[in-house]
Each structure stands twice: as structure tokens, then as C-alpha cells.
Amino acid sequence: MSSFSAPKGTYDLIPPDSAAFLAVREALSAPLRRAGYGYVETPGFEHVELFSRGVGESTDIVTKEMYTLTTKGGDRLALRPEGTASVLRAALQANLHRAGGLPVKLWYSGTYYRYERPQAGRYRHFSQVGAEAIGVEDPAVDAELIILAADAYRSLGLGGVRLLLNSLGDRACRPGYRAVLQDFLRGLDLDEETRARIEINPLRVLDDKRPEVQRQLAGAPMMRDHMCEACKEYHERVRELVDAAGVAFTDDPRLVRGLDYYTRTTFEFVHDGLGAQSAVGGGGRYDGLSEMIGGPPLPSVGWALGVDRTVLALRAEGVDLDLPAATDVFAVPLGEEAGRRVFALVTELRRAGVAADLAYGGRSVKAAMRLANRSGARYALVAGERDLAAGVAQLKDLESGEQEAVALDAVVTELTRRLG
Ligand code: ATP
Ligand code: MG
């Protein structure tokens, strides 16, 4: 026996579970499509510098998790570890920020690659649905995105998603806070790598998940005690708008995120049913990113929601998604002539919008009916030589077991009527 195995840290989406995955992607993006966000799709790989400049040289994503490669032509590329830098790059390249009104609102859905230590909810290849609103500094935009994400989770029937909210300050007040935080961190007992991080990106140290580090951070200075008036006011407006929309949140003054580019509004959606990998989505404002990658000043805000972890959260809560039936009608032809007629009927049904499938390979009635039952179809359409001679097919309701002969030329109308 040969053995097959996908690369470490990856998994395949296969039926029937893949249907839930698609439905989650759809549900996470539906609110965006109703809010003026246009679909954007960027390549699966980019020049390495886009991420090293955009995501940040001091982040785990860039230093440890990025898949990089050199092409035969000598280009240094990276498989995309996240979406924001690519989407902003694409918007700048297409001059979307000059084309019409700001913000440029974009949404995306795709797979991302990070060389991480695989565990439940943490993979090397995973899916996100994301959104970016580019070019406007207005608390209403931040609030809009937060509300749209909360609505997306709610539409899936998830009750256990919690929203954590914080502000990271801006160019005016963060440098002062950064210095105070560095002073505090330098006095702690930390390993060499973390000590190096204090000098490059001290806020990231607050995000350290290790208990021995968290314990020492108990008395750490908080951004909110060092925030300038403009940032305070901005944050208060975001909080008011989110609250007024009926979206509950917890202020989390220690919330920072793994990427360097965040300013002001920062948020994370967490779910308690996922063990250590509790973040189902996150995002925030990134006013400096455009300039970091060589563009004009474009204050922006965005988020990315993890599809894989959202599926796990649904499972943890025992939520069954209301998925449309894969097959409404399963046809069972008995004999060669019936095979031709039934095949034509199935084609007609599909063209009329009915999800229809049929038994192939000249199966016996018994074997074919077993397939019909397994397909989850509501109706079986059975036809043999004798039915055809009478100009009918047998329509069997697989729920009630009732069976009825229907004229061949009325099958499509009858089934579309019954299926509503
Ligand atoms: P974490 O703290 O769990 O590493 P992150 O801060 O790196 O998350 P983001 O870069 O903000 O995550 O990505 C947004 C979302 O994408 C996360 O909230 C999570 O749901 C999902 N995600 C991130 N990394 C992975 C991964 N390796 N496997 C599966 N999902 C992931
Ligand atoms: Mg991470």
C-alpha cells in the first residue's frame, strides 16, 4: 500500500466538511458585500520586501514564519503570510486611492502561509476573510469594520465570540509610551531574544503568551495612561459607535497585535472553546503602513478573520449550519434506454436550477436506491423500460416514502414546484 500524506501543518478540505468551510467564508464576507466593499484578489506570493517592510522586521511573522524562495530568475519572493500589505500594495499600484472617493473599501478571501509549530487551530496553510478601508481617518470607519465582523459571527449563530478593544496611540503619543515601557521591560528577567525585542518593538513583548513572561508584566505601564488627547477622543468615539450598534466589547489595555503596523484602534475577536488558539480574528488601524511600503500617507483600518478557527468555534459550540442540500433529486435509471432519457431529464433539471444527480454505471435498483438515500436528496426519480413505455417516471419522496408516477414531460415543472 502506498501512503499519502499532506505536508505537515496542512489539511485538506473534503466533503462533507468542506461545505461548512465554504459557508463560513460566505457568511464572513456577506456583511462586507452589503457595506460597499469590493472584492480584491492578489497573488499568493509577493516580493519579500513588501512583508519585511510592511509587516515588520521585528515580528515573528517575518523573522520565523515566512516561506521565502528565490526564483530561477533570481527574484526573492515570499508566500503571503497575511493579506493587508498585499491589498494595500495592489490598491497603490492601481491608484485606487486617486480614482474616486476615499476610503477605498476592499474585501478578500484566501489562503495564507506561515511556518508555525502546527497544533489544533494553528496551521501552516490557513484561510482568512479580510477587509481593508483605505485612506480615511474617521472613527466611524473603525466602528463599521468592527460591527461588520461582529455581525458576521452572529449570522453564523456563534454565541461565544468576545470582542477585545484597545488603542495603541499614534505618532504623537506612542514614542513617549514606548520609552517608558522600555525602561520597565529592561528591568525584567527575560531571555536574550525578548531583550532584543525590547529595543526593536517593545509593545510586542506585551503580547508574549508565555506565563513566566506574563507574570512579570503585571505592573507594566499601559498605553491608555500615556495617550494624547486626540487619540483618547478618537478611541472614545469608536467605543461609542460600537456600543450604540449593540456590539458588546471588553476594554483590554494590554491588547497589542503581532504586526508592527498598527496604530490607534486595535481589536481581537476571541473564542473560549478553542484552547490556546483563542483568536478567531483581529485587526486595527494602520495609519503608517502605506508610507512604510513607499506610498503616500493613507490612514487605514482593516481586519482578518480566520476561517479555520471559526469552523472550529462552530464545532466547539455544536452549531449546525443550515446548509443547502447538495442534491435535491437523485435519479435512478434502469436499463440503457432509461439511462439516456433520465440523463436528459437530469440535465434539464440542473438547467432549471434544481440540484440533481444520478446513478451511473448501470447499477441495480437496490444499489442505486442506496446511493439516492445516501445523497441526502429529497426525491428519487426512478424510470425503467416499462415506465418509459407508459411515458412516465416514478417520483419517490424519500422522506415520506410516497411514490407517484409523473409524466416525463411534466417532471421538471413538477419537481421545481415541489421544491419551491
Ligand atoms: P495568533 O496570535 O493566534 O498567532 P495572529 O495575531 O498571528 O494570531 P493574525 O495575523 O491577526 O493572527 O490573523 C488573523 C486571524 O487569522 C487570527 O485571529 C486567526 O484566526 C487566523 N490565523 C492566524 N494564524 C493562523 C494559523 N497559523 N492557523 C490558523 N489560523 C490562523
Ligand atoms: Mg501568529
The domain that contains 344 carries what CATH number? 3.40.50.800
Alpha-carbon distance of 92 to 134, in angstroms, equals 10
Span from the CA of 258 to the centroid of ligand 1 (angstroms): 9
Cα angle: 31, vertex 32, 35; to 5 degrees: 90
In the prediction, which pLDDT does 147 show?
Answer: 98
- Residue with the nearest Cα to atom 29 of ligand 1? 122
- Asked if residue 391 and residue 242 are part of one domain, the reply reads no
* Residue of 132, 309, 311, 312 to mutate, ligand 1, most atoms within 8 A of C-beta: 309
Domain boundary among 286, 317, 348: 317
Closest CA to 365 of 377, 382, 379: 382
Q: What is the pLDDT of residue 325?
A: 84
> Rounded to an integer, what distance in angstroms lies between the CA atom of residue 302 and that of residue 133?
6
Residue 10's region, left for phi above 0, alpha for psi from -120 to 50, else beta, is beta
Domain edge (last residue) among 287, 317, 347:
317
pLDDT of 354: 96
Give yes or no for residue 60 CB within 6 A of ligand 1: no
Counting from 1 in the atom list of ligand 1, the atom nearest the Cα of 122 is 28
Closest ligand 1 atom to Cα of 121: 29
Task: Indicate whether 11 belongs to any domain.
Answer: no
Q: Is residue 84 part of a domain?
A: yes
How large is the average pLDDT for residues 191-196? 92
Q: What is the CATH number of the domain that holds 232?
A: 3.30.930.10
Judge if 344 and 250 occupy the same domain: no
Shortest-distance Cα residue to atom 21 of ligand 1: 306
Whether 226 is in the pocket of ligand 1, judged by its Cβ within 6 Å, is no
Q: Is 282 in the pocket of ligand 1 (CB under 6 A)?
A: yes
Residue nearest to atom 18 of ligand 1 (CA): 281
Q: Do the domain assignments include residue 4? A: no
User: Residue 16: exposed, middle, or buried by beta-carbon count in 10 A (0-12, 13-18, 19+)?
Assistant: exposed
- Cβ of 122 closer than 6 Å to ligand 1, yes or no, is yes
- Residue 240 confidence (pLDDT) above 90: yes
Number of domains in the chain: 2
pLDDT of residue 258 exceeding 70: no
Give yes or no for residue 257 CB within 6 A of ligand 1. yes
Instruction: Write the pLDDT tens digit of every residue in 125-161.
Output: 999 999 999 999 999 999 999 999 999 999 999 999 9
Q: Which of 317, 347, 371 is the last residue of a domain?
A: 317
260 Cβ closer than 6 Å to some ligand 1 atom: no
Pocket probe for ligand 1: among 308, 311, 312, 314, the residue whose CB has the most ligand atoms within 8 Å is: 308
Q: pLDDT at position 179, please?
A: 95
CB 346 within 8 A of CB 398: no
pLDDT 10s digits, 332-369? 999 999 999 999 999 999 999 999 999 999 899 999 99
3-state secondary structure 228-282: CHHHHHHHHHHHHHHHHCCCCCEECCCCCCCCCCCEEEEEEEEEHHHCCCCEEEE
Task: Tell me the pTM.
Answer: 0.94
Q: Which parts are annotated binding residues for L-histidine?
A: 82-84, 114, 128, 132, 257, 261-262
Which structural domain range is residue 349 located in? 329-419
Query: How does residue 63 score in pLDDT terms, banded at 50, 70 and 90?
Result: confident
Enter the C-alpha cell of residue 138.
Answer: 474617521
Q: Say if residue 257's pLDDT is above 80.
A: no
pLDDT digits (tens, 9 = 90+) for 281-322: 999 999 999 999 999 999 999 999 999 999 999 999 999 998
Q: Does 186 reside within a domain?
A: no
In a domain, 185, yes or no: no
Q: Is residue 191 part of a domain?
A: no
Q: Could you tell me which residues are beta bridge partners of residue 127?
A: 111
- Report whether residue 239 contacts ligand 1, using a CB cutoff of 6 Å: no
Higher pLDDT, 323 or 395: 395
Ligand 1 atom with minimal separation from the 257 CA: 6
Closest-lying ligand to the alpha carbon of 282?
1
pLDDT in tens, 30-59: 999 999 999 999 999 999 999 998 888 778
Q: What is the mean pLDDT of residues 172-176?
A: 92
Q: Which pLDDT score, from 0 to 100, does residue 36 have?
A: 97
Average pLDDT, the chain: 95
Q: What is the pLDDT of residue 185?
A: 96
Mean of the pLDDT values across residues 172-186? 94
